[in-house]
């Protein structure tokens, strides 16, 4: 079946360093969403990308959707301790209601 993998699985950074997580799907995605899950919390929606090659920014976060719509990335500039959590990408299989989540990248920020 369809798989959505994320790398790295874990990342520890010093506060102020940049961070990037990559998301790769085995099939084409009609759109991709990113979620953040704080420790002990539930996933919360961050953003959605729809178009091939699309880039969106939210303050220090930059999201990109690949040209082939099979991969995506989330880049955080100058991380802060509030960025701690697990970041998931997610996307629906084309033509279905089935929504697949990536394996997640767990970010720790050291002050």
Partner 1 sequence: DVKVTQSSRYLVKRTGEKVFLECVQDMDHENMFWYRQDPGLGLRLIYFSYDVKMKEKGDIPEGYSVSREKKERFSLILESASTNQTSMYLCASSLEWQMNTEAFFGQGTRLTVV
Which positions touch partner 1 (CB under 8 A)?
A: 1, 4, 6, 9, 30-31, 33, 35, 41-45, 48, 50, 88, 90, 92, 97-104
For residue 101, the cross-strand partners are 90
Of the two residues 14 and 42, which places its CB atom closer to partner 1 in the complex? 42
Ramachandran region, residue 26 (left: φ > 0; alpha: ψ -120 to 50; beta: rest) = alpha
Least CB distance from residue 103 to partner 1, whole Å? 4
Least CB distance from residue 35 to partner 1, whole Å? 8
Of the two residues 44 and 68, which places its CB atom closer to partner 1 in the complex? 44
Burial class from Cβ neighbours inside 10 Å (0-12, 13-18, 19+) for residue 82 reads exposed
Of the two residues 3 and 80, which places its CB atom closer to partner 1 in the complex? 3
Distance of CA 21 to the CA centre of its chain: 6
């Amino acid at each position: 079946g369809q798989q959505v993998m994320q790398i790295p699985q874990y990342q520890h950074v010093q506060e102020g360093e940049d961070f990037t997580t990559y998301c790769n799907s085995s099939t084409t995605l009609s759109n991709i969403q990113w979620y953040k899950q704080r420790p002990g919390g539930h996933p919360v929606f961050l953003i959605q990308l729809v178009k091939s090659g699309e880039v969106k920014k939210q303050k220090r976060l930059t999201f990109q959707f690949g040209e082939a719509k099979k991969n995506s990335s989330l880049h955080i500039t100058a991380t802060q301790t509030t960025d701690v959590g697990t970041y998931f990408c997610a996307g629906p299989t084309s033509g279905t209601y089935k929504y697949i989540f990536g394996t997640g990248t767990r970010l720790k920020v050291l002050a």
